Amino acid sequence: MNYEYFLAKRIIGSKAYKSSVSAPIIKIGIAAITIGIVVMMIAIATGIGLQQKIRDKVVAFNGHVTITNYDSNNSQESLFPISKNQEFYPEFTSVEGVKHVQAVAVKFGVIRTETDFEGAYLKGVGADYDWSYFKEFLIEGQLPDFTQKRNEDVLISEYLANRLKFKLGDKFQMVFPKDDPEKLPNIITYHIVGIYNSGFQDLDAQYVIGDIRHMQRINKWDDDQIGNFEVFIDDYNQIQEKGIEIYQNTPSTLNSQTITTKYASIFEWIGIFDTNIYGIIGIMILVAGINMITALLVLILERTQMIGILKALGSNNWSIRKLFLYNASYLIILGLFWGNLIGLGLLFAQKYLKLFPLDPSVYYVTEAPVYINFGYIVALNIGTLLLCLFMLLVPSYIITKISPVKAIRFE
């Protein structure tokens, strides 16, 4: 029989244990574990959630990799056409893990109303466009259909609609200037069939989604000419490797660029979240461990006579240390239980009730997103338990210095 475990259970279950001098310190230790696990869960869930949300929004407007002409154009506008007759289109079979390739074209224009005007990019898309991301962003109306004949339906952001006082079903004129200032600009009257809000204000302020065939007509391109390709991959974690493979499997006349390079400042910023998460986890485990060390030392001091008696009866030092480590494990598990209960409660409340809003101009999202995965929750609990127990091995060594004769006489 594991008598150390048996004695630990008896100590934990005794009324004297719950009303002893060490009871308040034990409660503080449990509270430290509880608060620590709550803070760590929130840090991981919101950190990863924010990374994924921002990343998905950038991907929605650009794909994971963009294939363009080599030129010195730093704007979003498509100046030089690319032929759609490429080996990698419409299926990029030469690179494994590519999910979808779509052809788009972008042109700058000015939205004109009777009282106001606003500059924006008209992103022309076709029948091959993947609307899965914008289905999530759609807040009013429907997505345009460009699978049939050319039409003037557009999807506009809530940000632009509010600035220009547009509502669903309105029509507006968009003016596209020509390279030659002496020539009259192209003017197209568009019809708003849907309004979206990605929460990424920098991108929402730029893009109106319309028919690519208007861009081809304005630019005097052929039907098989487009501005650039957007490539989507299955696994974002492989974006660097796939970006290199895609570059190697495109013609030498074309360039490819991953979104992590195109929006380097944004991805560097969200990459800092990982450092913050690791820092918070380290601090919380350290604080919880120190509190548990204090609680263990008080328990040892309170049970000094019992330690002396056990030694006198023949128990070795490691056996007695195990007894107190079992006791400490119970306290840690109790703290983990309450921490998980409170932490998961807060995370699910935020996920479904959206209790904590964020400023989209700063964080690119309208509320704090949470990523709940039981894999990292289990790993966090096991890691916290093992690290705290490892930290307790050192203070438990004090038991080896206790003399049985002096311990029995200790009061």
pLDDT at 171: 92
Mean pLDDT (the chain, rounded): 84
Helix axes 264-302, 374-396, angle to 10 degrees: 40
- Token readout for 310 is 């056990």
pLDDT at 108 over 80: yes
Q: Summarize the confidence of residues 175-182 as an average pLDDT.
A: 79
Out of 200-204, 240-244, 314-318, least confident range: 314-318
pLDDT at 46 over 60: yes
Which residue intervals of 118-193 are DSSP H helices? 132-137, 158-164
* Dihedral sign of CA atoms 105, 108, 112, 115 in order: positive
Q: What percent of the chain has pLDDT over 70?
A: 90
Q: Is 341 helix (H, G, I), strand (E, B) or coil?
A: helix
Out of 25-29, 294-298, 314-318, 376-380, least confident range: 314-318
pLDDT band at 344 (very low <50, low <70, confident <90, very high): very high
Return the H-helix or E-strand segment holding 241.
Answer: helix 239-248
Q: Summarize the confidence of residues 294-298 as an average pLDDT.
A: 78
pLDDT at 143 over 90: yes
The domain locations on the chain are 3-56+267-409, 71-252
Calpha distance 366→364 (Å, rounded):
7
pLDDT at 11 over 60: yes
Q: Summarize the confidence of residues 103-111 as an average pLDDT.
A: 91
* Stronger pLDDT, 45 or 404, i.e. the higher one: 45
- Token readout for 404 is 């049985």
Out of 21-25, 290-294, 295-299, 353-357, least confident range: 21-25
Out of 135-149, 182-196, 389-403, least confident range: 389-403
Task: Report the chain's C-alpha Rg in angstroms.
Answer: 31
